[in-house]
Structure 1
């Protein structure tokens, strides 16, 4: 059974076309940004839209498929794990 620890599902739209990088050893890495949004009414009765941007990294065949079929604005669902890196 798949572990529920550090499991994430997001649905949103791509902010730019995926970037596929292929390394000398033949392995690939694909990156793209995903926007998720939430609309709600605040305590003052104002409508608010909150947009969060997520950096997505896909490896191997999954990344190659994303690079081939996804484009800026595509609506997608992704499943994976969270990794926080500070640069």
Structure 2
């Protein structure tokens, strides 16, 4: 019998992504992701509950996430649930759960990166060319030179 470990999340970044590199030079990016459920109870009162997820992204995708996303950016991701445990310095057992993303899709529009005014030169950044992507999670506008 086979098993499946797959998480699919659609939410917003809770903070700016943090890019680091392993000792072998592999890019790894970490950030928190908020997903919010909303519902109305029998009395008509609206409720919402936000869950926070720790996300880890690797390699070129990690570099792209770090470069193009900021706090509040909406994303769709697929990945695997990973649990870790360790002994803290005080002797207590600590636990964490992370989603190691295999696929990250940017939703919504992306802010155009702007170099400092004294570094503005030619090239196709800021040329106004955009790529429009329409899908089941909404329409998206990306610059035509996005690197993936």
| Shorter-chain TM-score tier | 0.7 to 0.9
Show CA shifts across 1:17-57 (max 9, x none).
10001133211211000000111012443210111000000
Q: Which runs of 5+ in 1 are unaligned?
A: none
RCO greater where, 1 or 2, for CA within 8 Å and sep 6 or more?
1
Structure showing greater Rg: 2
Shift of 1:62: 1.2
Give runs of aligned pairs for residues 28-47 of structure 1, distance below 5 A: 28-47=27-46
TM-score (norm: length of structure 2): 0.53
Give runs of aligned pairs for residues 20-35 of structure 1, distance below 5 A: 20-35=19-34
Which aligned runs of 4 or more in structure 1 are off by greater than 3 angstroms? none
Q: Which runs of 5+ in 2 are unaligned?
A: 85-94, 97-148
The 2-side partners of 1:72 and 1:22 are apart by 21
TM-score (norm: length of structure 1): 0.87
Shift of 1:4: 7.1
The 2-side partners of 1:40 and 1:47 are apart by 6
- How large is the RMSD of aligned CA atoms in angstroms? 1.7
Please say if 1:74 is aligned against 2:65.
no
Shift of 1:8: 1.3
Shift of 1:64: 1.0
The 1-side partners of 2:3 and 2:66 are apart by 28
**Alpha-carbon spacing, 1:61–1:39, altered in 2? closer, same or farther (3 Å):** same
